[in-house]
Chains A and B, each alone.
Chain A
Amino acid sequence: MDETSLVSEPSAIASDPHAAGQPLRRFRFPDGDLGWFTTDHSTCKAIMGDSRFVLHPLRPIGGDDGGFQEVTSGPESVGDLLRIDPPEHTELRRKLTRYFTVRQVEAKRPTIERIVNEQLDAMEAAGPPVDFVHTFALPVASMTLCDLLGVSADVSENFERPSEIISDVLGATFAEKQAAMADFYEFAWSVITEKRARPGDDPLSDLIQSGDLTDDQLKGTTFLLFAAGHHTTATMFAASVFFLLQEPRRWREACAEPPAIDSMVEELLRYLMTTNTNMPRTALEDVEVDGVLVKKGEAVAVVPGRPGGDPAACPHFREFDPARNSRAHLAFGHGRHMCLGQHLARLELQVGLAALMRRFPTLSLAEPPERNAWTPPLGSGYQANAQIGKDPLLVTW
């Protein structure tokens, strides 16, 4: 094998994910194992959807993982949908899907509208300027989640803070992340204890009452739902608003002639691709993918490129087109691990962004983009998720 063709620096590929060439490239993982790397849309989709690929054994794909995978993998991970394979995964996910169907999520619309309006009022009261992250993005995502999971909004700090720390790839030390995870599980356990004593009508109470899950599984599930259920959506709110305000005409045009909001949100998801689980898929048997033989036991780093979608099937691929009306992207992944909360995320973004545009048609960045304290780290697609964190996103009107 020609060693010069071996890629070891994912950002070299991810920085130009749609360059012509083989969709599957030879790749040496940071742990030394030889495998593959792909940013090609069709290849990513095929592998994610192929039941001959599994998550185990999990490993980082980039050297600057910051210990995220390690710190979020422990005994409780038996309950974390993003850390298990069939049959356990299938069984656990089936217990949760009924809370996240299109219909169930749509029933949350009045609640989300109320939460959004409250935060718009809070923005008006506090500014201009205001920190969009902590006045809107985070609270809307967190309070929607608290409502779904049947906990008081007062407990938000108990999952927001540890989530921020474990996602702070370079800023938080490994020890700090470990402490944050311990805090997170302590919080999870307090929720479980409370719901055991006083069950509510929510997914966690349901799981507890079923008696089917061990305590570790309950902790793992609670962790995943709280972490993945707020952080990703808050990030999309902030990244979307930053993006739309970066070029003021985008915001102006959207406000003057509102596009179909579901199409706009879908295009923001496709264009920004803010979330990547960075979980490689390992072949259970020899599998041919795009003319390449992935041998049993080999892992493929699957990192959908940005913008998302298939350049061959997506006209004006690099253009942000809010009227595109296409869901053919991998912002929520594909296959059995496709985001459980995707419809909730969509609804929050649709309600939230539409209301924001109506309330603040003259919204703008308080500082020029290059001087903004917060910018989404959307550099290379393989890195830790674009994320909100300590830095404010100051907006004015």
Chain B
Amino acid sequence: MASRLRIQADREACVGAGMCVLSAAELFDQDERIGRVVVLRECPDAETEDAARQAVALCPSGAIMLVEESGTDDPRSDAADDASGNPEGEFDG
């Protein structure tokens, strides 16, 4: 079983500082209305893992987390995993 990292972003805790974007522009963006974090890619690969860790370390509100998950490469089990509360696309309030 391969283990991989998954980004979790707490959009309520986010203060819109953009340090995640600075650290890893391939993985993060800020929404236009209030600058809150938008996760572009949930699972950093080997190339972007360091940048993801930097984003976690530099986030001023601790809104970014990297969760280690073990799972197979089977896309069906990925879909089941998606109940992780990925906030992407939730433009609440």
- What residues of chain A have their CB less than 8 Å away from a CB belonging to chain B? 48-49, 90, 93-95, 97-98, 100-103, 327-328, 333-336, 338, 342-343
Contact = CB atoms under 8 A, between A and B. Distances in A.
B15 A338 contact: yes
Interface string B19-54: 101110100011011111000000000000000001
7 contacts: A49-B60, A90-B15, A97-B16, A97-B30, A327-B58, A333-B60, A343-B18
A101 B61 CA distance: 16
Given A94-B16, A327-B54, A335 B61 contact: yes
Contacts of A342: 17
Contacts of A334: 60
Contacts of A98: 16, 32-35
Nearest to A326: B54
Given A101-B16, A101-B21, A336-B61, 20 more contacts: A48-B60, A49-B62, A94-B34, A95-B34, A97-B36, A98-B16, A100-B18, A101-B18, A102-B18, A103-B29, A328-B57, A328-B58, A334-B60, A335-B60, A335-B61, A336-B15, A338-B19, A338-B60, A343-B18, A343-B22
Nearest to A342: B17
A97 B11 CA distance: 14
Nearest to A93: B15
B22 to A, nearest CB: 6
Query: Which 6 A-B residue pairs are closest in the complex by CB-CB distance?
Result: A97-B16, A97-B35, A338-B60, A101-B30, A102-B21, A102-B18
A47 to B, nearest CB: 12
B56 to A, nearest CB: 12
Contacts of A335: 60-61
Nearest to B28: A102
Interface of B: 15-19, 21-23, 25, 29-30, 32-36, 54, 57-58, 60-62
A326 to B, nearest CB: 9
A102 B22 contact: yes
A328 B22 CA distance: 12
B35 A100 contact: yes
A365 to B, nearest CB: 32
Nearest to A327: B58
Nearest to B12: A90
A336 B29 CA distance: 19
A101 B36 CA distance: 9
Nearest to A99: B35
Contacts of B22: 102, 327, 343
- Name which of B15, B21, B57 has the most chain A CB atoms within 10 A of its CB: B15
A165 B40 CA distance: 46
B30 A102 contact: yes
Contacts of B25: 102
A94 B14 CA distance: 10
Contacts of A343: 18, 22
Contacts of A333: 60
Nearest to B60: A338
A30 B31 CA distance: 43
- Of A49, A101, A334, A336, most B-chain CB atoms within 10 Å: A101
Q: Which of B18, B34, B36 has most A Cβ within 10 Å? A: B18
Tell which of B22, B57, B60, B62 has the most Cβ of chain A within 10 Å. Answer: B60
B62 A93 contact: no
A103 B18 CA distance: 9
B28 to A, nearest CB: 9
Nearest to B57: A328
Nearest to A266: B22
A90 B35 CA distance: 13
B30 A327 contact: no
Contacts of B57: 328
